[in-house]
């Protein structure tokens, strides 16, 4: 039986490494066409070369709406449609307590994690109108838990969760599925940055405590199926053993 994403066109932001790169490989393996979006051109061009004809690399800064819009238009021009958007681009650096944080650096994290997620949703909606689609945000336990040194990250993820809820309320009845994935701690560069900060309990976790990026990648593909419809408008947590079981990770 072919997977529901086979033949679909999937745009992934932050596709140069970590969860984004793993998701690109997973969706391509399942027969999807993938649009790889990231600021770093070389990494996504290399990944597109590895995946082959089913991939298109589009350098893109998610904080600039017109760049996201142009990338999605390229998806439609190349592959004929846009079916799924994975708003994965996100940063946590620089980790700092509020009284020591740099205001411009703090705001830049909000721009990427929140405005970038809004831009991905906003640019997708006209292309999904009348045909439906799926818009997934990468969330975090930080969306609902305050952590020392992470005011920028916690605030941006809490706001992005509310954006998912608003999307579902406004366009859920039009066949556009909005939901978020809270993947837990994943073995990526972001966790190395967190460790280097030495702030709060997350930085003290052992490397073995983190799940491989292939796990959230599989979860993202599962979230595109009707099995995940019960979770529309909410975050799905990969820490939940029931979810891991549904995704096939147990």
Token pair 């979860």 is at which residue? Answer: 219
| Residue 65: active-site member | no
CA distances from 171 to 123, 129, 176, 242 (A): 14, 9, 6, 28
Q: Quick check: 211 and 156 in contact, CB under 8 A?
A: no
d(Cα 8, Cα 77) in Å, to the nearest integer? 14
Q: Quick check: 26 and 217 in contact, CB under 8 A?
A: yes
Spell out the long-range contacts of 51-58 with Cβ–Cβ below 8 A and sequence spacing 24 or more.
51/24, 51/25, 52/28, 54/28, 55/24, 55/28
Can you read off the two tokens belonging to residue 25?
């490989």
CA distances from 119 to 6, 71, 73, 89, 113 (A): 26, 11, 14, 11, 10
Annotated catalytic residue, options 72, 153, 215, 222: 153
Return the active site residues: 153
């Amino acid at each position: 039986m072919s997977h529901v994403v086979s033949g679909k066109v999937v745009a992934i932001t932050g596709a140069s490494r970590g969860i984004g790169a793993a998701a690109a490989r997973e969706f391509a393996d399942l027969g999807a066409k993938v649009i790889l979006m990231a600021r770093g051109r070389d990494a996504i061009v290399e990944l597109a070369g590895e995946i082959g004809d089913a991939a298109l690399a589009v350098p893109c800064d998610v904080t600039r709406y017109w760049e996201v819009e142009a990338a999605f238009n390229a998806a439609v021009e190349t592959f004929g449609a846009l079916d799924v958007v994975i708003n994965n681009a996100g940063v946590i650096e620089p980790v700092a307590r509020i009284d020591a944080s740099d205001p411009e650096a703090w705001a830049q994290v909000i721009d990427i994690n929140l405005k970038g997620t809004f831009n991905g949703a906003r640019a997708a909606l006209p292309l999904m109108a009348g045909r439906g689609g799926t818009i997934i945000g990468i969330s975090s336990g930080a969306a609902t838990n305050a952590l020392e040194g992470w005011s920028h990250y916690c605030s941006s993820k809490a706001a992005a969760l509310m954006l998912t809820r608003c999307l579902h309320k406004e366009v859920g009845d039009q066949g556009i599925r909005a939901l978020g994935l809270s993947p837990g701690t994943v073995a990526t560069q972001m966790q190395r940055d967190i460790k280097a900060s030495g702030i709060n309990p997350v930085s003290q976790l052992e490397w073995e405590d983190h799940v491989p990026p292939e796990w959230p990648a599989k979860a993202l593909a599962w979230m595109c199926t009707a099995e995940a419809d019960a979770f529309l408008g909410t975050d799905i947590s990969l820490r939940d053993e029931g979810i891991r079981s549904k995704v096939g990770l147990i």
